[in-house]
């Protein structure tokens, strides 16, 4: 029977195969991330000062990729939640559990760097407007998901509860994305992912894309390390249960 | 003006670098801890057999 791409993906569902696959994918992703980030920051710091903000636009190269990743990671987690509930994919809940701390961290980076950028630009560190508040809600949802994972002893039971919470929380993702269009807000409207194409000048857009790719590969490498840890943690748990049963 | 910009930019980059480094260290230490725990349990099982 010929091997189809679909079969190859299903083969990766096997944790042993994932362990072998990720062993060489982690250094590859890390090796891609570092030059992409270095080149992105180099280009970004060569760009001319922006008309209104001067050099303050440089914060964009960490703030915007962090925001994109916070939203993207949650979307991946929502797909993984479907994988847990609908397809019972053996690695879906592993990926979901491993990704949550990274999503929370990128949301935190986005909030803090946004506040630092906001003070000299808007005159305030914080404003309870649609974009900032919905991003804070996303960060709190991530924390809730991490807390729920820790509340259950049995990983499969936790996976179902977390999957339901993740899917319910997904409603916040379009709210974050479209908040700048729906409500009057201090935050600028979308300037990259918009129907009419990016409005940003290439001098700023090119380094931003390189930085976003670099951060994405960095996240991919760290996610695979965390997934490997989670697979090992479950093996340790199973072996410990067997050992306890043998003692009895 | 440039000095003020530098302070804000450096603070933002410093915070992002700190969080990313903390994530990297946490992921690496957790992986090492799980490898060690698994090796210990497997060694104990092998000794029993």
Cα–Cα nearest to B41, from A132, A233, A31? A233
Residues A220-244, mean pLDDT to the nearest whole number? 91
Kindly tell me if the per-residue pLDDT of A6 is higher than 60. no
For the segment A62-71, the average pLDDT, to the nearest whole number, is 96
Q: Does B35 touch chain A (CB under 8 A)?
A: yes
Section A95-105 average pLDDT: 96
* B42 at A interface, C-beta within 8 A: yes
pLDDT higher than 60, residue A1: no
Nearest by CB to residue A243, choosing from B22, B24, B44, is B44
B39 touches A at CB < 8 Å: no
Give yes or no for residue A157 having a pLDDT over 50. Answer: yes
pLDDT value of residue A7: 47
- Contact criterion met (CB < 8 Å) for A105 and B31: no
Our CA-based measurement puts residue B19 at a distance from the nearest CA of chain A, in whole angstroms, of 7
Look at chain B and count its residues: 49
Cα–Cα separations (whole angstroms), residue A54 to A58, A121, B12, B15: 9, 10, 16, 21
Indicate whether this complex's ipTM tops 0.85.
yes
CA gap A219, A201 in Å, rounded: 27
Residue B30 has pLDDT above 60, yes or no: yes
Termini Cα distance of chain B: 72
Query: Can you name the residues that pair with A54 across neighbouring β-strands?
Result: A50
Of A225, A236, A242, the CB nearest to B38: A236
Checking if the pLDDT of A206 tops 50, the result is: yes
Instruction: Quote the pLDDT of residue B49.
Output: 67
Question: Does position A9 have pLDDT exceeding 60, yes or no?
Answer: no
Residue of A66, A228, A243 lying closest to B16 (CB–CB): A66
pLDDT of B45 above 90: no
Q: Of A10-14, A192-196, B27-31, where does the model show the most confidence?
A: B27-31
Residue A5 has pLDDT above 60, yes or no: no
pLDDT at B46 over 90: no
Residue A56 with chain B: CB contacts under 8 Å: 5, 8-9
Pairwise pLDDT comparison (A6 vs A129), residue with the higher score: A129
The residues of A whose Cβ lies within 8 A of any Cβ of B are: 54-56, 58-59, 62-63, 66, 101-102, 105, 108-109, 112-113, 116-117, 119-120, 218, 222, 225-226, 228-229, 232-233, 235-236, 239-240, 242-243, 246
3-state secondary structure A164-228: HHHHHHCCHHHHHHHHHHHCCCCCCCCCCCCCCCCCCCHHHHHHHHHHHHHHHHHHHHHHHHHHH
- Cα distances from A40 to residues A133, A142, B14, in angstroms, run 29, 28, 17
Mean pLDDT on A216-223: 96
Report the C-alpha gap between A126 and A123 in whole angstroms: 9
Please report the pLDDT score of residue A85 as a whole number: 92
Mean predicted lDDT score pLDDT of chain A: 89
Least confident of A6-15, A74-83, A97-106, A117-126: A6-15
């Amino acid at each position: 029977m010929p091997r189809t791409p679909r079969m190859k993906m299903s083969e990766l569902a096997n944790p042993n195969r994932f362990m072998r696959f990720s062993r060489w994918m982690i250094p590859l992703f890390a090796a891609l991330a570092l030059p992409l980030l270095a080149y992105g920051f180099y280009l970004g710091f060569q760009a001319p000062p922006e008309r209104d903000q001067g050099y303050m636009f440089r914060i964009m190269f960490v703030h915007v990729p962090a925001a994109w990743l916070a939203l993207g990671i949650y979307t991946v987690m929502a797909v993984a939640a479907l994988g847990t509930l609908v397809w019972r994919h053996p690695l879906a809940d592993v990926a979901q559990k491993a990704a949550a701390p990274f999503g929370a961290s990128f949301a935190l980076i986005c909030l803090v760097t946004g506040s630092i950028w906001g003070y000299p630009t808007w005159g305030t560190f914080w404003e309870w407007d649609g974009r900032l508040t919905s991003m804070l809600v996303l960060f709190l949802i991530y924390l809730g998901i991490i807390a729920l994972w820790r509340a259950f002893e049995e990983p499969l039971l936790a996976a179902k509860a977390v999957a339901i919470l993740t899917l319910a929380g997904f409603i916040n993702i379009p709210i974050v994305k479209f908040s700048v269009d729906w409500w009057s807000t201090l935050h600028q409207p979308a300037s990259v992912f918009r129907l009419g194409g990016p409005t940003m000048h290439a001098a700023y857009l090119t380094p931003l894309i390189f930085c976003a790719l670099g951060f994405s590969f960095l996240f991919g490498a760290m996610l695979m390390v965390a997934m490997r840890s989670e697979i090992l943690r479950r093996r340790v748990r199973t072996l410990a249960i067997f050992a306890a049963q043998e003692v009895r | 003006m440039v000095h003020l910009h530098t302070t804000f930019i450096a603070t933002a980059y410093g915070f992002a670098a700190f969080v990313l480094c903390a994530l990297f260290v946490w992921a690496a230490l957790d992986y090492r801890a799980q490898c060690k725990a698994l090796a210990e349990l497997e060694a104990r099982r092998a000794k029993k057999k």
